[in-house]
Structure 1
Amino acid sequence: MTSFCFLFIWILAQTYRFLKRRPVLVVIGTSVGFTLVILSFKWGFMCSNVQPQMYVKKICMDHTNGNSVGNLCEELCQLRGITSISCQTFHMGKESVFSGHWRNNSMFFKLPKDPNRHTTLHWLDDTNKKIYPSEVDFSSMIVTNVKLRFNISVDTIDAKKMSYIHYAQKGALREVEMENVWRLLQDNEYLALLLYAKFDIFPQLVGSCGALYAVQKLHPISRYSHLMSLYDSNGEWVKRIKLSVMILDFLKQLENELPEPLHICDVKIDHFGVTRDFKKIQYLDLDSVHPLSIANQITGDGSPCKQHSDCDYFDCRSFCNLITYKCQHGVVNNNLQIVCEKIFLGWVMSGRVVIPGLLLSPRSPRVLLDLLELCANPDGESGTPRAPASKEVRDRLHKLLSHLT
């Protein structure tokens, strides 16, 4: 259970205790409680297993009708195929996120938010017949899509491979497969999983069925950071230090070992996962992961602004041109600054830490806290930090944490 969930449950409990002593407010309290439950579903604090079952049922109907293909279709639609399907909280970016087991492996299933909102692959002729692009044109469309979304140039051979769904069922119409492929390639996360698979920085893509795809399930590191972390044992503290070192190694890989540095613009502790052997960190939510050039385009797209925050893209921060009042600047902070601020130090509200991060503990030495403050706010700004943490700070932090273990 995440730190946010602990906080939410605590708020509900305190509200109940308060109203219990005041019978006059019972009716109001019941209404407030009902509203909180509704909002908890909307915001992702709670979920129901009915939701994933509905998505699976729809996917299977499409599969039966010949409109969904993929290596997971048969398994999803068999009683003894994929089991233990259950919903997952705190995944508001996706239309559907649920977990399941297949062949002794745990997986996350994801469906793009509103999967029907994608560029139409076919067009209609004068007789309303669907016309599809040729194989050559389809490959060219994929090349263009990859370039626009990740600024990566793929050749026609790789684009041709990407135009097929592996292990699609025999006899499936090529047009149906092309439709499914095109839907998947419109999803930032699915495309990132394909493009960066060889770098081992994201979970492994297991397969798909229609617009639904599955990835390897990792353990979110949020289980090691919670409201009780201020009272944990030395063993738990050492474990969180090791996780922090792995995160620093991961950020270094994003910056130095890819075709172009990647920015993780929506940083949450639940978005970091650790492998079973506890040796590697990977990133779990790729909806807002972009190469630096694309992130710069997003924050500097020329849209109107009144203040700097109007130009921010989640945690990727920028500047508003206060002369033209337009967003004309690229990303000004970096992954390390965001992680130090939000993951290592914790959730801050009104200048106070509400939920401690991985490295905020009574066991934290003063030298570590000072270094984290410098990393989270390099220029010592009074407002939202808008400067990158330096490589020197990263190296010092890595060296200090390695020494503490």
Structure 2
Amino acid sequence: MMYFFPRRTSWTYRSIRMKLQSLPQHFCKHCVRGYRVLLENEWMRYCFLFVCLCSVCYLLFGWIISRDSCFEWEIRTSLCNDYQNGLVAGSLCYNLCIEKSVPLSSCINRDDQFSMFRWSNILFKALNPDKHKLLEVSNPVWDGMSKADFISLLEKHFAQLLGNKDHSYLILRAFEFADFNRNNELTYAEARSMWELLQIQEFQILFIFQDNTVFPQLNSTCGSMFGYETAYQQILYNKNQSTYLESIFPNSYQWSLPDFPRRAHIALGLLEYIFATMETDNTKFYMCDFSPQNFGYNQYYEMKVTKFDGIVSETVLNKTMSTKTCEKDSDCVYGDICHSTCNLVTGKCNSIDEMYTPDFIKVCHVLQDYLLYDMPIKVKYLLSHLVADCIRMGNKMSTKTRETIAVDQNIIHDRLNEILWNELKYADNKFLTRPTKKPPVLI
């Protein structure tokens, strides 16, 4: 029995293998036979052809949609036609339309307003075709418009946006930015393009804060499309992840954070952001959707604001509040955290409350989760107490005057700056070293 068992097993294996090998052949024969029977009926023949045609059209249409999900072809065609007809201008137009060296094929996202593309380390945002048509209708720029008329138009626009204050520096920068060919003269295409850009809220914020390093730098424009440097990391952290790991370890979001010297350098950028929005071009700004997901950092661990749609000037915020009808205080909310009180006599919202929680206190809450994790023992006591004092300052706002709060804020801010900079002096700061070769810039 010992001698015949292996042979019997091998023959069984061979027979099974031969049957398996013949299965595709039998299957193909049945398919061909069924296909011939199907085509013998003329009606079935037409149905089969119709199904094949519909399948091909469906696949082709799906491929076109997935390939151009951000209206790349329509946006590029519209911009280049307007550029060739002298209707738009910008430092990007030549590269986009003539040299065709800037591709818009890498679609990142598309929302109700923008289509977003990425090329190298630049993020391009273009208005969707329907939004761009609405913008063109309300354009007050005309052909042959003089420099004085355009500056007057800019003065009115910035007065509505930032209040009736001196904005001469901002107006001069806007004119120089609009003069794309740098000849100190303004063509219709240049004036028209600049005006369209200034109607976009995200571009307004980027343009106003161009002198501040915590905001991304504008790279290039073409008509109403603009590009700016994108952050290496788009968010600082996400504390509210609904994962199994988070339910077991509530601080698991901190495990992937950079080491302390890099976080200290990012934290300095957060502190710089506070004073940038506190007074820029004689205007105060509010971030009405404050979140650690609104901030990121580049490859040199410099903090960058990554979301701008929640940032609004005090003038625009108060105007928006004054147009809101209300019955109670909870009706007077802008974004997530900007709120005021309801005037029951007029049924309108009052201006932003003077006791509004400063952004500095909100930043301290971010620092508590982001900076105080896994930090060196020698600075743990000082930093934890400073951040705790800052958070407690927010709880005592009702008992302090606005001037007292500003003084306390400056003291804590300066002390935090001093400790973090002193810590960075003795840390390994190779991540701060920039390469000698600069990235390509189109403007």
TM-score category (smaller protein):
0.5 to 0.7
TM-fit CA distance, 1:65:
4.4
| 1:162 to 1:57, Cα distance in 2 relative to 1, 3 A | same
Q: Which runs of 5 or more residues in structure 2 are unaligned?
A: 1-65, 424-443
| Structure 2 CA distance for aligned equivalents of residues 112 and 317 of structure 1 | 30
The alignment status of 1:272 with 2:295, answered yes or no, reads: yes
Amino acid at match of 1:164: A
Amino acid at match of 2:200: D
| 1:233 to 1:188, Cα distance in 2 relative to 1, 3 A | closer
Q: Deviations 1:203-247 (Å, cap 9, x if unpaired)?
A: 211121111011122234515546578234597362445433431
Determine the structure 1 residue equivalent to 2:181: 167
Q: Please show how residues 138-177 of structure 1 align to structure 2 within 5 Å.
A: 138-151=150-163, 152-155=165-168, 158=172, 161-162=175-176, 164-167=178-181, 174-177=187-190
Q: Deviations 1:144-179 (Å, cap 9, x if unpaired)?
A: 1112112353449827825834139x9x99323322
Query: Which residue of the other structure, out of 73, 78, 90, is the alignment partner of 1:58?
Result: 78
Is the Cα–Cα contact under 8 Å of residues 244 and 344 in structure 1 kept in the other structure? Answer: yes
Is the Cα–Cα contact under 8 Å of residues 188 and 287 in structure 1 kept in the other structure? Answer: yes
Determine the structure 2 residue equivalent to 1:96: 115
Residue 134 of structure 2 aligns to a residue whose secondary structure is coil
Is the Cα–Cα contact under 8 Å of residues 378 and 389 in structure 1 kept in the other structure? Answer: no
Amino acid at match of 1:274: Y
Moved more, 262-271 or 236-245: 236-245
| Structure 2 CA distance for aligned equivalents of residues 251 and 297 of structure 1 | 23
Determine the structure 2 residue equivalent to 1:330: 352
The alignment status of 1:295 with 2:351, answered yes or no, reads: no
Determine the structure 1 residue equivalent to 2:38: none
Amino acid at match of 2:97: C
Is the Cα–Cα contact under 8 Å of residues 338 and 352 in structure 2 kept in the other structure? Answer: no
TM-score w.r.t. structure 2 length? Answer: 0.59
| 1:260 to 1:395, Cα distance in 2 relative to 1, 3 A | same
Moved more, 229-238 or 52-61: 229-238
Residue 96 of structure 1 aligns to a residue whose secondary structure is strand
| 1:323 to 1:120, Cα distance in 2 relative to 1, 3 A | closer
Structure with greater helix percent: 2
| Structure 1 CA distance for aligned equivalents of residues 283 and 205 of structure 2 | 13
| 1:77 to 1:329, Cα distance in 2 relative to 1, 3 A | same
How large is the Cα RMSD of the aligned pairs?
4.3
Q: Deviations 1:28-55 (Å, cap 9, x if unpaired)?
A: xxxxxxxxxxxxxxxxxxx986316243
Residue 320 of structure 2 aligns to a residue whose secondary structure is helix
Amino acid at match of 1:100: W
| 1:83 to 1:389, Cα distance in 2 relative to 1, 3 A | farther
Structure with greater strand percent: 1
| Structure 1 CA distance for aligned equivalents of residues 257 and 217 of structure 2 | 30
Query: Which residue of the other structure, out of 245, 248, 258, is the alignment partner of 1:236?
Result: 258
- Identity in percent: 20
Q: Please show how residues 119-130 of structure 1 align to structure 2 within 5 Å.
A: 120-122=138-140
| 1:284 to 1:236, Cα distance in 2 relative to 1, 3 A | closer
Radius of gyration: which is bigger? 2
Residue 330 of structure 1 aligns to a residue whose secondary structure is coil
Query: Which residue of the other structure, out of 326, 347, 350, is the alignment partner of 1:305?
Result: 326
Determine the structure 2 residue equivalent to 1:44: none
Q: Please show how residues 4-403 of structure 1 align to structure 2 within 5 Å.
A: 50-51=69-70, 53-54=72-73, 55-77=75-97, 81-83=101-103, 85-89=105-109, 92=111, 94-101=113-120, 106-112=121-127, 114-118=131-135, 120-122=138-140, 133-151=145-163, 152-155=165-168, 158=172, 161-162=175-176, 164-167=178-181, 174-222=187-235, 224-225=237-238, 227=241, 230-231=251-252, 232-233=254-255, 236=258, 238=260, 239-240=262-263, 242-255=265-278, 259-278=282-301, 280-299=302-321, 301-314=322-335, 315-331=337-353, 332-340=356-364, 343-344=366-367, 358=370, 370-371=388-389, 374=392, 390-391=405-406, 392=408, 395-396=411-412, 399=415
Determine the structure 1 residue equivalent to 2:42: none
Is the Cα–Cα contact under 8 Å of residues 332 and 342 in structure 2 kept in the other structure? Answer: yes
